[in-house]
Amino acid sequence: MLTLYDYGPSGNCYKVRLLFSLLRIQCIRIDVNVKKGETRTEHFLKNISPNGRVPVVIIPSDYVHKLSNVENSSTTSKTPTDSTSSSSSNNNSTNEQQSIILTESNAILTFFSDGTPLYPSNPIERAKIMQWLFWEQFSHEPNFSSLRFWITLLDKGDDPQYLDKINERQIKGYEALNVMEDHLNKEDWLVANRFTIADIALYAYTHCAEEAGYSIDSFPKIKSWLRRIENMPGYVPIDD
Amino acid sequence: MLTLYDYGPSGNCYKVRLLFSLLRIQCIRIDVNVKKGETRTEHFLKNISPNGRVPVVIIPSDYVHKLSNVENSSTTSKTPTDSTSSSSSNNNSTNEQQSIILTESNAILTFFSDGTPLYPSNPIERAKIMQWLFWEQFSHEPNFSSLRFWITLLDKGDDPQYLDKINERQIKGYEALNVMEDHLNKEDWLVANRFTIADIALYAYTHCAEEAGYSIDSFPKIKSWLRRIENMPGYVPIDD
């Protein structure tokens, strides 16, 4: 069974929960409280993720073993040898596969959606999905997640010490919303005229933009795109 | 022929130039001056990239056509229909493929390295590469590129107005260097015990960390990893 280290309010964790629900992937959820610093403990940094963030998925050895067998039957690639959850030495034998620790929400999305309609195999479509996923992490997510954390979770929306950095991020956040609105004015979905992991990645923080102090009233195309996602079979809300 | 919209000092652009040199991929380079705002002109935002950033690669229709034929012969995916460089309507016919505009340095790396040893096909290795690429864009690059821009290009290293934000980023930047040093203490390369696009992505800003005000003297494993990359056949420096 997969294990997900999870924090309920986190949009990045929600991406994984939403994907798993849509694809009916089962996992054990272990809640860690980011606000209480539970991702920064010595135990977490040493044994779960040195980057001190969630989500983290632990992929057990039997899952890895199965994938490696599929892989070895069709290509000449080596079996994975890095970043195992055990401290024992690396070993290329598939019989001695160890569990894998996978971090970074968008890396988790690509891994688990591979081979499904949510991550089409056409190389140009994949490239455009990648483009949106990297854009999300650099130009979108930082302008929503931090604001939402400061305003909703820390209640710093009126704190003069936060004013400048809130304003700076909001300008960039509205730029990001404009990029999305322009795109969704031409297409119903971000890539390939269908629902993909690019939509999941961007949905996570866009759908709770108001908790980050944004108004999305003037973004009708984004609003209807959000509703389309919420009507997908298997959809779950962030607080599920 | 591919066209690369390029800015010499940019580490993100350098990733693409380095990959193209290693893989002997030819392109036409069009220089845009970020410092002079040339990625923020109405023309650039409307016709090249609405995100106003470089690198941007224009992939001509014959290249797209070739890829789609390969793809169509082995899968049932549709041909690409989004984000073309023409304003004419989308069309699924491969005979009417349009050129593709591809942005986001790490998306460009994955697209052009696919099928080469720089981007292994093993799913676990791919997942770990993705993990480093997303980590680079969120936890690494912002703490190096901005500092380098402020300190080296804008000469604001001693400006009191920049002090707080320089300090804040440096703390996070050193955290990122520690994550890399710990990993490179166990492995010679970031993923799969071999040189991949994960190393290219992290090399770009790490190798000029000193221009961003960092000292890497206390990171011996990073230093030797940098030297290994510089000895790769086809390596080119950032100012080439």
Strands A27-31 and A100-103 turn out to be unpaired
Contacts of A179 in chain B (CB under 8 A): 50-51
Contacts of B84 in chain A (CB under 8 A): none
Q: List chain A domain ranges.
A: 2-113, 123-230
Distance CA B229, CA B202 (A): 11
Q: Is the pLDDT of residue B87 over 80?
A: no
User: How many angstroms separate the Cα of B231 from the Cα of each of B19, B126, B129?
Assistant: 14, 24, 21
A40, A45, A122, A124, best to mutate vs chain B, most B CBs in 10 Å: A124
Sign of CA dihedral A173, A174, A177, A182: negative
| Closest-CA residue to A183 (of B101, B82, B107) | B82
- What is the 3-class SS of chain B, one letter each residue? CEEEEECCCCHHHHHHHHHHHHCCCCEEEEECCCCCCCCCCHHHHHHHCCCCCCCEEEECHHHHHHHHHHHHHHCCCCCCCCCECCCCCCCCCHHHCCCEEEECHHHHHHHHHCCCCCCCCCHHHHHHHHHHHHHHHHHHHHHHHHHHHHHHHCCCCCCHHHHHHHHHHHHHHHHHHHHHHHHHCCCCCCECCECCHHHHHHHHHHCCHHHHCCCCCCCHHHHHHHHHHHCCCCCCCCCC
Strands B56-59 and B2-6 turn out to be antiparallel
The percent of residues above 90 in pLDDT, for chain A, comes to: 75
Q: B71 — contact with chain A (CB < 8 Å)? A: yes
> Which chain B residue's Cα is nearest to A179?
B50
| Closest-CA residue to A136 (of A107, A115, A103, A94) | A107
> Which chain B residue's Cα is nearest to A128?
B102
Pick A137's closest partner by Cβ from B53, B105, B134: B134
8 Å CB contact of B130 and A106 = yes
Q: Is the pLDDT of residue B209 over 50?
A: yes
Main-chain dihedrals φ then ψ at residue B103, nearest 5 degrees: -115, 180
In 3-state terms chain A splits into helix, strand, coil percentages (rounded to 5) of 55, 10, 40
Q: Which range is most confident: A150-154, B91-95, B118-122?
A: B118-122
8 Å CB contact of A82 and B51 = no
Contact B61/B98 with Cβ under 8 angstroms? Answer: yes
Residue type, A134: F
Contacts of A139 in chain B (CB under 8 A): 51, 53
Strands B27-31 and B56-59 turn out to be unpaired
Q: Is the pLDDT of residue A40 over 50?
A: yes
CATH topology for the A2-113 domain: Glutaredoxin (3.40.30)
Q: Is the pLDDT of residue B21 over 70?
A: yes
The pLDDT confidence band at residue B214, using thresholds 50, 70 and 90, is: very high
Number of Cβ within a 10 Å radius of residue B206 = 27
Q: B107 — contact with chain A (CB < 8 Å)? A: yes
The pLDDT confidence band at residue B152, using thresholds 50, 70 and 90, is: confident
| Closest-CA residue to B212 (of B144, B132, B113) | B144
Q: What is the CATH number of domain A123-230?
A: 1.20.1050.10
Structure tokens at B175: 């955290």
Q: A78 — contact with chain B (CB < 8 Å)? A: yes
The pLDDT confidence band at residue A63, using thresholds 50, 70 and 90, is: confident
B46, B58, B99, B104, best to mutate vs chain A, most A CBs in 10 Å: B104
Lowest mean pLDDT among A47-51, B5-9, B76-80: B76-80
Residue type, B137: Q
Q: B67 — contact with chain A (CB < 8 Å)? A: yes
Give the pLDDT of residue A99.
92
Task: Give per-residue pLDDT as tens, A159-214.
Answer: 888 888 899 999 999 999 999 999 999 999 999 999 999 999 999 999 999 999 99
Residue A93 to chain B, least CA–CA distance (Å): 14
Task: Give per-residue pLDDT as tens, A93-117.
Answer: 444 568 999 999 999 999 999 999 9
Q: B131 — contact with chain A (CB < 8 Å)? A: yes
Task: Give per-residue pLDDT as tens, A213-231.
Answer: 999 999 999 999 999 999 9
Q: Within the 171-200 window of chain B, which residues sit less than 8 Å (CB to CB) from chain A?
A: 179, 182-183, 187, 190-193
Distance CA A106, CA A5 (A): 15
Contacts of A88 in chain B (CB under 8 A): none
Residue A74 to chain B, least CA–CA distance (Å): 10
A74, A128, A169, A179, best to mutate vs chain B, most B CBs in 10 Å: A128
**What pairs with residue A4 in β-bridges?**
A29, A57
8 Å CB contact of A135 and B51 = yes
Give the pLDDT of residue A96.
57
Distance CA A177, CA A210 (A): 12
**What pairs with residue A28 in β-bridges?**
A3
8 Å CB contact of B80 and A114 = no
Give the pLDDT of residue B112.
97
Give the pLDDT of residue B37.
93
Lowest mean pLDDT among A91-95, B106-110, B186-190: A91-95
Q: How many CA atoms lie within 13 A of B32 on its CB side?
A: 22
Sign of CA dihedral A85, A88, A92, A94: negative
Token pair 């080596």 is at which residue? A78
Pick B128's closest partner by Cβ from A51, A83, A131: A83
8-state DSSP, A86? S
Distance CA B84, CA B70 (A): 19
A123 vs A88: which has the higher pLDDT:
A123
The pLDDT confidence band at residue B70, using thresholds 50, 70 and 90, is: low
3-state secondary structure at position A47? helix
Token pair 């864009």 is at which residue? B137
Using a 10 angstrom Cβ sphere, with 0-12 exposed, 13-18 middle and 19 or more buried, the burial of residue B240 is: exposed
The pLDDT confidence band at residue A85, using thresholds 50, 70 and 90, is: very low
Q: What is the residue-averaged pLDDT of chain A?
A: 89
First to last CA, chain B: 20
User: How many angstroms separate the Cα of A97 from the Cα of each of A15, A76, A78, B192, B195?
Assistant: 27, 17, 12, 14, 22
Distance of CA B119 to the CA centre of its chain: 14
Strands A2-6 and B2-6 turn out to be unpaired
B25 vs B80: which has the higher pLDDT:
B25
Main-chain dihedrals φ then ψ at residue A80, nearest 5 degrees: -65, 145
Token pair 């990648």 is at which residue? A130
